[in-house]
Amino acid sequence: MQRYFVPKENMTDTKVTITGEDVKHIARVMRMKIGDMIICSNSIQAARCKLEEITDNEVTANIVEWIEEQKELPVAVTIAQGLPKGDKLDYIIQKGTELGANSFWPFAAARSVVKWNAQKGQKKIERLEKIAKEAAEQSHRTQVPTVQLPTSFQDLLKESSHYDIKLIAYEESAKTGEKKNLAKTLNTVQSGQTILLVIGPEGGLSEHEVMALEEQGFVSCGLGPRILRTETAALYFLAAVSYHTELM
Q: Please give the pLDDT value at position 174.
A: 57
Residue 217 has pLDDT above 70, yes or no: yes
Partnered with residue 146 across adjacent β-strands are 103
Q: Please give the pLDDT value at position 175.
A: 61
The span from the CA of 15 to the CA of 246, in Å, is: 33
Nearest to 64 by CA among 52, 48, 44, 53: 48
Q: Please give the pLDDT value at position 248.
A: 85
149, 155 contact by CB (below 8 A): no
> How many residues in the chain?
248
Residue 176 has pLDDT above 70, yes or no: no
Domains assigned to the chain: 3-67 (2.40.240.20), 76-247 (3.40.1280.10)
Q: Please give the pLDDT value at position 218.
A: 97
Q: Please give the pLDDT value at position 16.
A: 97
pLDDT > 90 in the chain, percent: 87
Q: Residue 210: pLDDT band by 50, 70, 90 thresholds?
A: very high
What's the one-letter identity of residue 53?
Answer: E
Q: Please give the pLDDT value at position 27.
A: 95
Residue 226 has pLDDT above 90, yes or no: no
Q: Residue 177: pLDDT band by 50, 70, 90 thresholds?
A: low
Q: Please give the pLDDT value at position 122.
A: 83
78, 195 contact by CB (below 8 A): yes
Residue 172 has pLDDT above 80, yes or no: no
List, for residues 72-131, the tens digit of each pLDDT value: 999 999 999 999 999 999 999 999 999 999 999 999 999 999 888 767 778 899 999 999
Q: Please give the pLDDT value at position 178.
A: 65
What's the one-letter identity of residue 233?
Answer: A
Query: What is the reported pTM?
Result: 0.91
* DSSP category for residue 149: P
List, for residues 194-205, the tens digit of each pLDDT value: 999 999 999 999
Q: Summarize the confidence of residues 167-190 as an average pLDDT.
A: 83
190, 241 contact by CB (below 8 A): no
| Range with the poorest average pLDDT among 31-40, 172-181, 197-206, 221-230 | 172-181
61, 16 contact by CB (below 8 A): yes
pLDDT > 70 in the chain, percent: 97
Report residue 161: phi and psi, to 5°. -65, -15
Q: Give alpha helix (H) positions in 139-243.
A: 153-159, 171-175, 181-188, 207-215, 230-242
